[in-house]
Structure 1
Amino acid sequence: MARLISVLLFLFMLQLCSMTVLSLIEAPDSASFVFGDSLVDAGNNNYLQTLSKADIPPNGIDFTASGGQPTGRFTNGRTIADIVGEQLGQPSFALPFLAPNTTGTAILNGVNYASGGGGILNGTGQIFINRIGMEVQVDFFNTTRKQLDEILGESKAKEFLMKKSIFSVTIGSNDFLNNYLFPLISATVRLNQSPESFIDEMINTLKTQLTRLYTLDARKFVVGNVGPLGCIPYQKSINRVSPNECVTLANQLAMQYNTQLRTMLADLNKNLPGARFLLANVYDLVLELITNYNSYGFSTASVACCGNGGQYAGIIPCGPTSSMCDDRSAHVFWDPYHPSEAANLVIAKYLVNGSTKYISPINLLQLKAL
């Protein structure tokens, strides 16, 4: 009997100590949970057997935190998500979910689930062999959600997610570039699906995943629309348009999708109590940079800084043997697909503290304050 009482007392004390430790852990005032594709991938693809990788130089050459070494980010420096996190006061960048050090209290700064080549639809990006689509990214967040309960306790974890965390979603470009518009795939896809049907599928699938995040206690969202795909060096190179032209079909598809995305987010705001969904108007933001690049201090909005092939160095991705521009801050585009850090800085500024032209119905500073 005495032995049983001792065991029970030990277990009680152990539970009490565990509860005390939980009560001492304080969540930060701001955290980012990042979902998306290569525009915001912070290195998840480093841990995949995939053709979509940015873990080779000169990628990351201007990323101060790594001393200029590649981190898996598809740009020369910080991504938009990195910069937004900094400007919202986060003490460190959200770590890639697949990184081995993304454990314990490190996840309280947020976690990055984005994956180069990933899309809204599960079939998108299959040309890269491996990539993490939106559905699996939300599955990964479900794992993080359980870890937060263990670290903070259920009540504090729920409050942390609902009030202090911003969920950013930057996805959709690959569903066009590496699915509907990709030369080896598009013929079959377009034969079976009209643009309207394809975009409907994208919207309905994304709505399902955003709603899943809501059921896991996400409340503050910023969702980026698809940028002017017809204006990136890759599309301009393969379609051989002039420097001041963009590819019409790619931009038309993006605009069709963006119109439906705006309606869908308004619907979620109306029907999910307590949720705030912001629309980041990336299309008009990037188009503004491309159209008026001189006024932002850029010398070109057509030619990739790092790449090869075609008039705009837009066919072969950036790598160790690529040609690279002398002044990286003078290029809107780092490589055939992705903005430079200088462009990301401009875009992030508008999203954090800009007007409803580029972020609506409120900006990210206002969202954080709610």
Structure 2
Amino acid sequence: MARGPEKWRLLVLTLSLSTIWAVEGGQKVPCYFIFGDSLYDNGNNNNLPTKARANYPPYGVDFPQGPTGRFTNGRNLVDMLAQLLGFENFIPPHATAKSDEEILKGLNYASGGAGIRDETASKTLGAAISMNKQLLNHQAIISRIESILGDKESASKHLSKCIYTVGIGSNDYVNNYLLPKFYNTSRWYTPEQYAIALTQQYSQQLRTLYNSGARKIALFGLGPFSCSPGSVAMYGTSGSLCVDYITRHIELFNSRVKSLVDELNNDLKDAKFTYIDAFGILGSLVAGVDGFLVDNSPCCDVANLKMHNGVLTCIPLLNPCISRSLRVFWDGTHPSEAANVYSAARAFSALLTSDAYPFDISTLVEL
């Protein structure tokens, strides 16, 4: 499955050139739909009553349109994937998409603070569009697609050729289980029980997505938020770069999601699910590979970094660090654009066999 280091490095170089959009062959799929949290949000939270917003400087300092709601200094991971899939433009947020053309090419439903559980982030950040709400929004869009294309059969055929990515679950820990002052889940569940409960609910949500017409779905596991500036500052470490017991939570969840891929592929014979090892991919950057700094500090200034309240965004209007092309983390928890370039390249065209299971996104496109 791995394409080899030379091809992978060339892919990263291609992605880093902001003026280059489509890669060889043009648009590879008719549409791309995105579900998830702030790692994937590109503007759905801009008008919500929430602290999880990124529509102000220094967010977007390296983005052509400035601060748009992406929780990074430039492009996020799904922007990169849209580029690799050959789309001429970024996939628009559901909150602002209007035209039939936009809707037919796909939408981004992701929301900062969103979780698998509906209550996640509500007591700490404010409003969020949970995974269940994102699915309801998608169902309404499917009705519009049916109207645009003329009937359900045509819509189903169209949707079956699309790529779907889903990345969710981080907030169910960061803004739920790990904040016992605000949420009861850590008193209700052991870490093992919580991972089971989360993935059981997640399984039902993914089956709902399948029943809505999705057939090519890439699931992103949880990334190394145990190594983020916010986690390290709030919880401390025992001589390692990361908070080890939080890493254990991540491993419990990710292992179950990887098993869930097998379960869904066995149960839903005409669907193709795959798992992307976000922890392994981004974790290699935390360890300082390929010139990235081994540094747990955020590139932008974050207020109250050590406070256990889940708010880890940039202070408005302050100048960020100069070395952001070498940084893994942009603010208290979100990756830099450079890290997103790296992660998208390996998700699309696996460098290691462990990057994707059972296949990478470029293979999913061809199935």
TM-score by length of 2: 0.86
Q: Which of 239, 242, 246 does residue 246 from structure 1 map onto?
A: 242
Residue 280 (1) aligns with residue 276 (2):
yes
Provide the secondary structure at the position in 2 that maps to 1:167.
strand
CA contact (8 A) 2:302 2:315 kept: no
| Percent identity over paired residues | 34
Give the structure 2 partner of residue 147 of structure 1: 144
Aligned to 1:16: none
Is 1:123 aligned to 2:122, yes or no?
no
Q: 2:191 aligns with which of 187, 191, 195?
A: 195
Residue of structure 1 equivalent to 2:292:
298
Higher relative contact order (CA 8 A, sep 6+): 2
Q: Contact 2:52–2:113 (CA<8 Å) still a contact in 1?
A: yes
Change (3 A) 1:229 1:347: same
The alignment covers a number of residue pairs equal to: 336
Deviation at 1:29, TM superposition (A): 3.4
- Give the Cα–Cα distance (whole angstroms) in 1 for the partners of residues 293 and 43 of structure 2: 29
Larger CA Rg, structure 1 vs 2: 1
Q: What is the rounded CA distance, in whole Å, between the counterparts of 1:50 and 1:195 in structure 2?
A: 28
Name stretches of at least 5 consecutive residues in structure 1 with no aligned partner. 1-26
Cα shift at 1:28: 8.0
- Which residue, out of 68, 73, 88, partners 2:70? 73
CA-to-partner distance for each residue in 1:223-242, whole Å, 9 max, x for gaps? Answer: 01111221011011112337
Residue 289 of structure 1 aligns with which residue? 285
Q: Would you say the 8 A contact 2:164–2:217 is kept in 1?
A: yes
Equivalent in the alignment of 1:161 = 159
Distance in 1 between residues matched to 2:304 and 2:113, nearest whole Å = 22
**Alpha-carbon distance in 1 for matches of 2:180, 2:319:** 25
Unaligned regions of 5+ residues in structure 2, if any?
1-26
Residue 352 of structure 1: CA displacement? 0.7
CA distance in 1, matches of 2:277, 2:208: 23
What's 2:46 paired with? 46
Tell me the residue number matched to 1:134. 131
Structure 2 residue 137 is matched with structure 1 residue 107: no
Report deviation, 1:299: 2.5
1:316 to partner: Cα distance: 5.1
Aligned residue for 1:47, secondary structure, equals coil
C-alpha displacement of 1:243: 7.8
Summarize the Cα distance change of 1:360–1:30 in structure 2 as closer, same or farther, 3 Å threshold: farther
Q: Which amino acid aligns with 1:77?
A: G
Q: CA deviation at 1:34?
A: 0.3
The amino acid that maps onto 1:152 is: L
Supply the AA of the counterpart residue of 2:292.
F
Q: After superposition, give the CA deviation of every residue in 1:275-334 in whole Å (9 maximum; x if it has no partner).
A: 00010100111111111x2x3222244111012368999975213254521121011101
Aligned residue type for 2:247 = N
- Aligned with 1:357: secondary structure? helix
CA–CA separation in structure 1 for the residues paired with 2:80 and 2:241? 30
Residues of 2 paired with 1:50 and 1:300: CA distance? 32
- Aligned twin of 2:36: 36
The 3-state SS of whatever aligns with 1:46 is: coil
Which 10-residue stretch deviates more, 101-110 or 244-253? 101-110
Matched, 1:326 2:306: no
Give the C-alpha shift of residue 184 in structure 1: 2.1
Q: Of Structure 1 and Structure 2, which has the larger fraction of its residues in helix?
A: 1
Flag the 1:194–1:241 CA change in 2: closer, same or farther, 3 A: closer
**What is residue 82 of structure 2 aligned with on the other side?**
85
Amino acid in the other structure paired with 1:74: F
SS of the residue 1:44 aligns to: coil
Seen in structure 2, the aligned counterparts of structure 1 residues 236 and 263 have a Cα distance that, compared at 3 Å, is same
Report the equivalent of 1:222. 218
1:263 maps to 259
Cα distance change on mapping 1:193 and 1:242 into 2, 3 Å: closer
How many angstroms does 1:143 deviate by? 0.7
Would you say the 8 A contact 2:34–2:108 is kept in 1? yes
Aligned to 1:207, the other structure's residue is in SS state helix
